[in-house]
Amino acid sequence: AQSVTQLGSHVSVSEGALVLLRCNYSSSVPPYLFWYVQYPNQGLQLLLKYTTGATLVKGINGFEAEFKKSETSFHLTKPSAHMSDAAEYFCAVSSGTYKYIFGTGTRLKVLA
């Protein structure tokens, strides 16, 4: 069975500081990994994804994530937070089938 754990339901950073949102997964087969962002009262939007190949994945809005198989992690980072990054972020895993498992989300707050 697959699962996703997002450490920290709420994360606060100062504007300009590093953003680090943690995601650990469990999968018995090579995983497909995703990060989605949800702004208030909106649907989910794909930030980035890992399927195969390069383990450092770059996404939209300056975000990137690194797939680390040995640590079963797929943490999301951004070098410098912007006020517009305030949102909820979801990590998700798929085994390459039609089922996706989502984490419980991390709400990012950016302080001026």
Find the binding residues for other proteins in span 26-85 (CB under 8 A): 32, 34, 36, 41-46, 49, 51-52
List the structure tokens of 8.
Answer: 């920290």
Q: Which amino acid is at 31?
A: P
Give least dist CB 98 to other proteins, A: 5
Q: CA 14, 17, 23, 24: dihedral to nearest 10 degrees?
A: -120
Site string for other proteins, 91-110 (x = CB under 8 A): -x-x-xxxxx-xxxx-----
The smaller minimum CB distance to other proteins, of residues 20 and 46, is found at 46
Site string for other proteins, 3-32 (x = CB under 8 A): ------x----------------------x
SS3 9: coil
Give least dist CB 69 to other proteins, A: 18
Answer whether 55's CB lies under 8 Å from 67's CB.
yes
SS3 1: coil
Answer whether 106's CB lies under 8 Å from 6's CB.
yes
Q: Which residues contribute to the site for other proteins (CB under 8 A)?
A: 9, 32, 34, 36, 41-46, 49, 51-52, 90, 92, 94, 96-100, 102-105
